[in-house]
């Protein structure tokens, strides 16, 4: 371990212990954020007169060089914060660089860095997820008339359309998007100025660093500010929830591209072959998405278990929690993008879908409903008559239905108005589907829902753009202030 | 298994298989909700002319009797929905009762029931959580001047006040509350009318059942409506997140009531004794809260793992997911209430807290900060001088500080303006705390934060009351419509 | 809460707190075990002269009555141990019944009860799992020549046989069985006599209660004895591992019974129908097994998270862990039995399996291997030639292969000995399979592996019988000693 | 993606998809294992006459160079297996290198590599865990007379000794060791020769590669061989179980080094300081161990969730599972070593421990037991008398006890033989402890248990040495065969 923190207080640490305690390899995630936080803190310290303008100028210039060198050129310390300070001191002397950490602690510093970085991840993920929703809606538009079997229990149930099916996913992903947006609210708030946990005797200006860093507000209580990791749990939960939906899409892509289903062909770009079976074309990307769902559950469990029962305020356990967040974010972002690409490039086998749409007596419910409407019998009775038909594996002729009805209820349905035409109408999937409005596969209704989904998506994108603008404006402001400070010297 | 669904289609099921597949024992949770959904559906069917008014009237009356009998009097069927319908038919004949299930499926029915019940749980939980926040704020008000040690790494770090500490929890729980409120938005939407997953050919009025049940909107796509369980994952995530915060409070209560800490006495009501150690007074309630955090993580993992990679639309796996939601809700609701009671009744040992506040050189940071301010040395240098003092376990006299400073930097700090008075000022915890504004323990600032927290809480309660009113108004409307329908006959 | 433990020491507990802390509803699992532990403890106390023979006799007789009444007739106390003692005292006076708890604590008592009950669960589960292995082996024997497609990535890969496929599961379940047997070793050891955690000043005979309860040894250190729950984690891990394998079987049953695959028909007993789609026959049992896998993962996570970081020795958190164990055991035992029944009663569609076995150029690897053997070309080259064939979707004629080979390697494979006969031999799945020995689908080799699996199963059953006998012998011994003690009076 | 597998069959893959699917960065774990597997496979192929001796010789020599270059010098392919083959072909031509993959698949190859690597991890972990057990036993030997408070519910319960406390952990870790040893049995078995899942038409000798690689046997069924990951779940479960025990030790170290407890000082090597609080000495290593427990639970959940419901045989999801195993192994191995170091170097504050041993009426149980033995009253009565004493916070004088007894039972205990001497004897912790044999803290009994633990440890080490020797012998044999093959040319 480096000496910057320990040298006066503790004897040195063996290499294996330093390797155990150091977070430097995962700190790559927050290296840039740390430099940004340093800059905002320095600008504020100078504005408040806590450090001198020329000191600030020298430090800011040195930080540019440190940033250019990247994390790989930092000296060995137990984390990126200590390493940057150590490098800074070695460049500009302790008398200058030793003043940067005035009025703060690594506790508020790291919490700020994690929030800044997670904010960026959330913004990127929302952008990608909006694209995926767009892809689903675009393909739904193409397939409002594409018949396919609808499933419950992986069994043919009733016919539907591919548009209706794809919109089910679009609807679910819309809620995932809203969760990310809500998580953003509780992420983009500033812990900076909380110091170790008790604030500081230096008169730091928390509102100013909040503004310079593009946060939407400060976390008022300083102990809460450094010890809270609920925002990480919330984002990891939203990722796992979203990945559950992506795993469902992936599972369907795998199923649909099997030779037994043969509903789609996955584009070569998203497929692999075998090292010994040269004919194979495997849905590897979809399988990995399905697998990565498990990795996000793992990450969520990691953060939850690690943060269980920790007393106030900062505990080193928290260091172990953060990498799980980055792991989940990485899995999820890439999976969103891959899903969009895979759906956008798949080939749909429409004839096969249509052929399968009506196998397995898929119109049974329509027939039962028709018996209800035509003959006025109770739904449960109609359900049993048609159930008996299914059991007998008989063609649904008027004669057979009458026979069953007679044995079951004592009367013929042809006496209540049933005729062959009514039966054959009920068994026509296209007309059946047209009757299923109110969120069902009826093409007109699907178009109605598409319009609603597009409107929601547009609103989401406007709000997303506003958030990005707020962050970018802050970045611009900080840059200008930093340049001004550098020229003070 | 009962025969209502199977009798025409499948041969009977052995008792052990029925026991395996039946959800009847956990359906107690949704028995009342199911009756409510039946009523709204029947009112709408009648209004739309799908069933006759006298049929509706007879069914509604029979449902009253069934409700009074409770779930225990239902016949054995594979779930509560089939059991209610079966009982209904046995009371009013299939010709009447067999019409209730027209235009719906158990798939949309169960999804609606779960959402109704979860909505109630969320409303109750928000109410209880608001109370807990109130308790924390109230006790913070009493203890703005109660000195105590602040901890990092379970080590004394800097002095703080009990108010500041309690507000850290209040702040965190405020975010938990906001997550529950957000989860409510994605819970209180109606799947009813989606039928099996493809809508129905009957012209059901989804907006009307939505209104009668107090939902805030409908889930547009019918396949999404029956297969989505993301709302359960979201609530379970919010519960686990909240329980993480409660487990932290519980862990502190356990620690603080140990004889070594002796900061508080837990009231007898929240303590137990031993079966063989008669002197013991054990913090069992706090330990169980800490433990129940693990049970909510378990529930969340259960729902996530179960819903992984399920293709559209309904799959029976979903039945296995729901009990985890109720288990998590039960754990969490009770834990919130117990935490409030435990904090509200604890006895605080103020002298002991104050005595411990200053042990362990807790003012070291203040001293280092004072050296920075007084002598203009860099923070890092001051940190090392004070670190050396700590290592030597020496009293922080001017002489010793000068010695260390001389050996470390080549000059005496007394030459830069340090004197005994400045040192002794820095070591006074009370004046130190007064300087820690901006979210720190300074009593005035704590009062400022209390005001903010109280404002937020008031706004939360106003919004909560509005939600409750919306639900109650709908309940009233449904009751009136049901009464009107019953008198049609 | 009842008064037996608290009355001298603590004031009473409100009803909601008692409801929160009481374990009485889940203690049903250990009610019988607790009575058994009481008996063994009493016999030993009497033998060691710690309580008098007539006292023991009176208590034992009262325990019979308490056992007959069942847990429902116990008075309200915070757990089953206190409730039994309380009931005992109310029956035989404190002067008699108040002596039963001499030399022990609820801490060692509950740990003993859990181990006794879990031991029984493990023995039952091993018995059921042995049956499932038997079923798989029996069906493998019937299907050594039943061709079917073998899959990787849910894509047809190479032909195999149903026997080979079923044996893959049998092999995996053999390891699951071994894990249960190993878990048994670390479960069936006695904590009794450890008292609260520090042993007791009474000269209890731990070896004697160990013997009377059929344990295989004692847990030496008394603090370890009461605080260890690693045996629960181990069993829950073994259950989750086993359920992972069962979920794989279940997923295949669901897939295979889809109309697209149509490989099997699940027997009516293990299927359900729909409330509105009367033609449906749904694989509900398989879906629930797949879902219950998630519930066992949940249970495991619960126990792990709850027991994290608990200091020595007993903590009340442990009470929250135990129900997760029973939940996992219940899920797993039932799922093992259902899987056995489902496989044993399924109808296999052999023609369909055979037809699918050779679709999708499944013999591609055989062809590539044949090119290697016949023409001496490297495997990687053969893989590419056949890969090109697959891409062209061309029939694998000698002419086409020569063309590809010429363009790729500059020479014709017919020049290296390839002829039409060799190609057609390579494409014959039956002869291909016969060559796949060494654990592959070759029928003779499958018979060899069946023999190995049957031998292992027989050895497992012999060891299981020995364990059951040991437990039963101890039960007999305890019964005799109890009868003898009862007649002392 | 590289072209070695795809070039004839599929068009190329974009960079982001390759980044998504490639496992190359985590394959560093198995790079060495893969080369070893290649060697054993080549030796066998040559022995069986499947490839020629000079081909084998050229490939083996090239593999040496590839091994020296390390994974960093491999060309970009989707995994380490393809990358090594690709590099091999680029060095020795496809006509030579293209023959290495004859008679195998990446499916059996990767399963073999993971098992080889995990075997090594398990052997190392057992070695380290044996050391930790040794350290605990060694320190127990030093502290058989070191009084300390024993805890339940983090409350003083009864006095014990530090030896007794440390042995509780040693006992638990002994069971963790046994679980690792059992996991080894189901890890060290060979999947090689299973090829893609169906074996191969080449007459490979599975027993021979098994022998050359130091496996203890082969996995008979080839489909099971490639698709089984239960061994990973089992090891990850054992790691999480072990980490639960380590987290308990870590939690105690943190508690004991707080200024309130002040039982131990953690050595500087295992402590850190603060970036702003120079006096702090923080138990960071212990906190990280506590945290890493959560990371192993995460890893276990990851593997379980990922492998849920995967149909036979290989699926790409499995690639996502493996890194979780390595992550858990790394956390666990390091935590075992750190725990050993931390315990071995801690300073025990014996006076403080002794002083705390008797606070809080810790001898209450002894006193109650003495009343039972001396006066013949029931234990429950004695418990209540002493409970009342505790409630009154009264000194346990004969007079007070008589008063309580009189009011409670109607008689004085002094009439039944109680005197001041008996009371004072019962309150002496040293003599109390001496009476607690049978696994309790009585020093003689502790020595007895130490002997048992040492014997077990010796047996474990002998078995471990035998396993290491078996592996090393195989390594030696493989080396010799490889050298012989290389000289064939």
Three-state DSSP at A152 gives strand
Q: How far is D352 from chain A (nearest CA, A)?
A: 24
The answer on pLDDT for A345 being more than 80 is: yes
Q: How many CB pairs under 8 A join B and C?
A: 204
D9–A281: do the CB atoms touch at under 8 Å? yes
The model's pLDDT over D371-383, given as tens digits with 9 standing for 90+, comes to 999 999 999 999 9
Q: Which site among B49, B156, B201 would you substitute to test the A interface, given the most A Cβ atoms closer than 10 Å to its Cβ?
A: B201
- Please tell me the predicted confidence (pLDDT) of residue D1: 35
Percent pLDDT > 90 in chain D is 88
Q: Which two tokens stand for residue D403?
A: 């008063």
The answer on pLDDT for D118 being more than 50 is: yes
* Centroid of chain to Cα C433: 33
Helix C106-142, helix C230-256: angle, nearest 10: 30
The answer on pLDDT for B85 being more than 50 is: yes
- Please tell me the predicted confidence (pLDDT) of residue B394: 76
| Residue in A174, A160, A179 with CA at minimum distance from that of residue A439 | A160
C381–D98: do the CB atoms touch at under 8 Å? yes
The answer on pLDDT for B1 being more than 60 is: no
Pick from B357-361, C223-227, D10-14 the range whose average pLDDT is largest.
Answer: C223-227
Average of per-residue pLDDT values in chain C: 95
Spell out which residues of chain D touch residue A315, defining contact as CB-CB under 8 Å.
287
Spell out which residues of chain C touch residue D199, defining contact as CB-CB under 8 Å.
436-442, 445
Q: Alpha carbon of A477 to those of A31, A67, A219, A468, A481: distances in Å?
A: 20, 19, 22, 14, 6
- Please tell me the predicted confidence (pLDDT) of residue C3: 61
Helix (H) or strand (E) holding C161: strand C155-161
As annotated, the active-site residues of A are 153, 274
Of B53-62, B139-148, C2-11, C118-127, which gets the smallest average pLDDT? C2-11
- Please tell me the predicted confidence (pLDDT) of residue A1: 35
Spell out which residues of chain C touch residue D449, defining contact as CB-CB under 8 Å.
220-221
Of B288-297, C52-61, C280-289, C390-399, which gets the smallest average pLDDT? C390-399
Q: How far is C148 from chain B (nearest CA, A)?
A: 25
DSSP-derived secondary structure letter, A161? E
The model's pLDDT over B154-204, given as tens digits with 9 standing for 90+, comes to 999 999 999 999 999 999 999 999 999 999 999 999 999 999 999 999 999
Which chains pack against A, by 3+ Cβ pairs within 8 A? Answer: B, C, D
Percent pLDDT > 70 in chain D is 99
For residues C294-298, give the mean pLDDT. Answer: 98
The model's pLDDT over C321-355, given as tens digits with 9 standing for 90+, comes to 999 999 999 999 999 999 999 999 999 999 999 99
- b/e map of A11-39 (b: 16 or more CB within 10 Å)? eebeeebbebbbbbebbebbbbbbbbbbb
The model's pLDDT over A356-369, given as tens digits with 9 standing for 90+, comes to 998 878 888 899 99
- b/e map of D157-189 (b: 16 or more CB within 10 Å)? bbbbbbbbbbbbbbbbbbbbbbbbbbbbbbbbb
Spell out which residues of chain D touch residue C392, defining contact as CB-CB under 8 Å.
none
Please spell the DSSP secondary structure of C215-284, one letter per residue: -S-B-SSHHHHHH--HHHHHHHHHHHHHHHHHHHHHHHHHHHTSTTT--EE--GGG-B--SS-TT--B-H
Report the distance separating Cα D475 and Cα C209, nearest Å: 49
The answer on pLDDT for D239 being more than 80 is: yes
Report the distance separating Cα C463 and Cα B243, nearest Å: 45
Percent pLDDT > 70 in chain B is 99
Contact in structure between B303 and A241 (CB atoms under 8 Å)? no
Three-state DSSP at C160 gives strand
- Please tell me the predicted confidence (pLDDT) of residue A359: 80
**Closest-approach residue (CA) in chain B for C8:** B278
Average of per-residue pLDDT values in chain A: 95
Report the distance separating Cα C359 and Cα C188, nearest Å: 53
Spell out which residues of chain D touch residue C223, defining contact as CB-CB under 8 Å.
150, 160, 164-165, 167-168
The answer on pLDDT for B383 being more than 80 is: yes
**Closest-approach residue (CA) in chain B for C289:** B317
A488 pLDDT tier (thresholds 50, 70, 90): confident
Spell out which residues of chain B touch residue D384, defining contact as CB-CB under 8 Å.
278
The model's pLDDT over A34-90, given as tens digits with 9 standing for 90+, comes to 999 999 999 999 999 999 999 999 999 999 999 999 999 999 888 999 999 999 999
Report the distance separating Cα B323 and Cα A382, nearest Å: 33
The answer on pLDDT for B12 being more than 50 is: yes
D360–B158: do the CB atoms touch at under 8 Å? no
More confident residue, C67 or C11: C67
Could you count the other beta carbons within 10 Å of the beta carbon of residue A144? 19
**R_g of chain B computed on alpha carbons:** 31
For residues D54-73, give the mean pLDDT. Answer: 97
For residues D398-412, give the mean pLDDT. Answer: 93
Q: Alpha carbon of D274 to those of A14, B158, D251, D279, D420: distances in Å?
A: 18, 12, 20, 8, 53
Average of per-residue pLDDT values in chain B: 95
Q: Alpha carbon of A406 to those of A414, B99, B102: distances in Å?
A: 10, 19, 22
Contact in structure between D412 and D377 (CB atoms under 8 Å)? no
As annotated, the active-site residues of B are 153, 274
| Residue in D364, D362, D303, D368 with CA at minimum distance from that of residue D329 | D303
As annotated, the active-site residues of D are 153, 274
A155–C255: do the CB atoms touch at under 8 Å? no
- Please tell me the predicted confidence (pLDDT) of residue B489: 60
- Please tell me the predicted confidence (pLDDT) of residue A407: 92
Beta strands in A142-204 (DSSP E): 147-152, 155-161
Three-state DSSP at A2 gives coil
Three-state DSSP at A64 gives helix
Average of per-residue pLDDT values in chain D: 95
The answer on pLDDT for C439 being more than 70 is: yes
The ipTM of this complex is 0.97
Please spell the DSSP secondary structure of D406-436, one letter per residue: HHHHSS-GGGGT--HHHHHHHT-HHHHHHH-
For residues A327-349, give the mean pLDDT. Answer: 98
Q: Which site among A260, A372, A385 would you substitute to test the C interface, given the most C Cβ atoms closer than 10 Å to its Cβ?
A: A260
- Please tell me the predicted confidence (pLDDT) of residue A489: 61
A281–D8: do the CB atoms touch at under 8 Å? no
D273–A9: do the CB atoms touch at under 8 Å? yes
Q: How far is B96 from chain A (nearest CA, A)?
A: 7
The answer on pLDDT for A26 being more than 80 is: yes
Contact in structure between D322 and A347 (CB atoms under 8 Å)? no
Report the distance separating Cα C284 and Cα A152, nearest Å: 11
Three-state DSSP at D347 gives strand
In the numeric block, the tokens 């390899």 are attached to A25
Report the distance separating Cα C197 and Cα C221, nearest Å: 9
Report the distance separating Cα A115 and Cα A234, nearest Å: 12
D365–B254: do the CB atoms touch at under 8 Å? no
- Tell me if the bond preceding C313 is cis, omega within 30° of 0: yes
The answer on pLDDT for C1 being more than 50 is: no
């Amino acid at each position: 371990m480096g000496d910057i923190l320990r040298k006066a207080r503790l004897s040195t640490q063996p290499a294996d212990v330093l390797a155990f305690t150091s977070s430097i390899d995962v700190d790559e995630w927050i290296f840039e954020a740390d430099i940004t936080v340093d800059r905002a803190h320095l600008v504020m310290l100078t504005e408040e007169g806590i450090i001198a303008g020329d000191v600030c100028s020298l430090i800011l210039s040195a930080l540019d060089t440190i940033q250019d060198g990247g994390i790989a050129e930092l000296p060995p310390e137990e984390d990126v914060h200590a390493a940057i300070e150590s490098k800074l001191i070695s460049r500009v002397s302790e008398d200058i660089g030793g003043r940067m950490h005035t009025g703060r602690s690594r506790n508020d510093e790291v919490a700020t860095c994690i929030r800044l970085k997670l904010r960026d991840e959330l913004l990127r993920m929302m952008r990608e997820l909006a694209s995926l929703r767009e892809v689903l809606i675009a393909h739904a538009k193409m397939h409002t008339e594409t018949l396919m079997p609808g499933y419950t229990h992986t069994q043919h149930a009733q016919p539907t359309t591919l548009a209706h099916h794809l919109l089910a996913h679009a609807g679910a992903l819309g809620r995932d998007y809203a969760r990310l947006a809500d998580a953003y609210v509780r992420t983009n708030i500033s812990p900076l100025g909380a110091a170790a946990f008790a604030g500081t005797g230096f008169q730091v200006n928390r509102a100013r660093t909040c503004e310079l860093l593009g946060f939407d507000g400060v976390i008022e209580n300083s102990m809460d500010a450094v010890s809270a990791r609920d925002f990480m749990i919330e984002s990891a939960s939203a990722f796992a929830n979203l990945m559950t939906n992506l795993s469902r899409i992936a599972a369907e892509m795998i199923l649909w591209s099997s030779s037994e289903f043969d509903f789609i062909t996955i584009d070569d770009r998203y497929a692999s072959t075998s090292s010994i079976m040269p004919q194979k074309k495997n849905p590897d990307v979809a399988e990995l998405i399905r697998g990565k769902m498990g990795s996000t559950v793992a990450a969520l469990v990691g953060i939850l278990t690690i943060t269980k029962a920790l007393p106030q305020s900062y505990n080193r356990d928290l260091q172990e929690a953060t990498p799980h967040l980055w792991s989940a974010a990485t899995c999820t972002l890439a999976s969103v993008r891959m899903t969009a690409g895979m759906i956008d490039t798949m080939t749909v086998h429409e004839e096969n879908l249509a052929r399968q749409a009506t196998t397995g007596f898929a119109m049974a419910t329509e027939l039962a409903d028709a018996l209800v409407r035509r003959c006025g019998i109770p739904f449960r009775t109609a359900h049993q008559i048609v159930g008996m038909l299914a059991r007998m594996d008989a063609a649904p002729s008027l004669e057979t239905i009458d026979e069953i009805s007679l044995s079951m209820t004592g009367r013929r349905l042809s006496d209540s108005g049933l005729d062959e035409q009514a039966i054959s109408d009920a068994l026509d999937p296209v007309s059946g589907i047209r009757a299923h409005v109110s969120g069902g596969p009826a093409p007109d209704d699907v178009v109605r829902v598409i319009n609603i989904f597009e409107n929601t998506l547009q609103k989401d994108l406007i709000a997303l753009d506003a958030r990005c603008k707020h962050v970018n404006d802050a970045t611009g402001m900080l840059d200008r202030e930093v340049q001004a400070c550098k020229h003070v010297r």
